[in-house]
Amino acid sequence: MDGYRTRLPIWLPGQNYWLIGLLAAALLASGCATRVEGPEDIPPDRSAPLPPRVKLKPTERPYSISGVRYVPMLSAEGYREKGVASWYGPGFHGRDTANGEDYDQDELTAAHTTLPLPTMVRVTDLNTGKSVDVRVNDRGPFVKNRLIDLSRGAARALGFFTQGTAMVEVVALGPGEPQTQLARAKRKVKSTPEVGKEDAPKLFVQIGAFQSENNARRLAKTLEERIPVRVTRAEVSDQTFYRVQLGPLASVEMADGLVESLAGRGLGEGRIVVE
């Protein structure tokens, strides 16, 4: 892995309050160090250029929710991403999904902000190795730092229904099948051996992305005596970024609390990263 990691333990929820205070002081002392230099550090746009006079289907058109603009992908080929999964059910059961189907909270389906509708994806719980194939037929989740919203049935199949969230990997399998009994019957939960400690996923909150490695390491140096921190290198749209990330953290709940506390103190919007 590029960059470096300080040799500090995973942070537990009880440490959250004093961690936030130390982080705030360190970031303020470093002088607005969370500002991103250059283009925004976001995944590349997967939507392909359109030929002239092509009319987009309703599910392919860009849309905005709460001031955030989303551009649906025209193809899911090669899509693979890690992040935090949540689930939705009561309150939506029986209502129309984004592609006009009836939402059944007990079917193996999912919502995604930009994948083509419908798309079949394999969702793997990175803590257990268990995976399930689901059909993406809805839009969401519209909550920051969530990658995919599974149906209640899919969350139960993966085993995180009670927990509420899970660290997952989502891989596109191809276009979604028609909504038929035969298609639903093909979907099965796949069990794999338990994930070993060395393969367990790691959770971080990213607080800055810089084109200057010196600036990234200057911020990390300010924090490293008090907070677990690392600097990693990433290529985004043919540009190099140096990302400053806090962690590893003990839980999604702690990462959410850290992101919320940073925003509340005017220290920027942290981004949850799953590895």
The whole-number pLDDT of residue 268 equals: 76
Q: Is the pTM of this model over 0.85?
A: no
List the domain boundaries for the chain. Answer: 4-38+199-274, 74-179
The whole-number pLDDT of residue 39 equals: 46
**Under CATH, which architecture does the 4-38+199-274 domain have?**
2-Layer Sandwich (3.30)
The whole-number pLDDT of residue 41 equals: 53
Output the CA–CA distances (angstroms, integers) from residue 91 to 37, 74, 103, 166, 233, in the order listed: 41, 30, 10, 21, 42
The whole-number pLDDT of residue 232 equals: 95
CA dist 196 and 159 (Å) reads 18
169, 192 Cβ separation under 8 angstroms: no
Task: Please state, as a whole number, how many other Cβ atoms lie within 10 Å of the Cβ of residue 44.
Answer: 9
Decide yes or no: CATH 3.40.50.970 for domain 74-179. Answer: no
Instruction: Give per-10-residue mean pLDDT for the chain (275 aa).
Output: 40 53 61 48 53 78 94 95 95 90 94 96 95 96 95 95 96 78 50 64 93 91 83 90 93 91 81 94
The whole-number pLDDT of residue 194 equals: 60
11, 196 Cβ separation under 8 angstroms: no
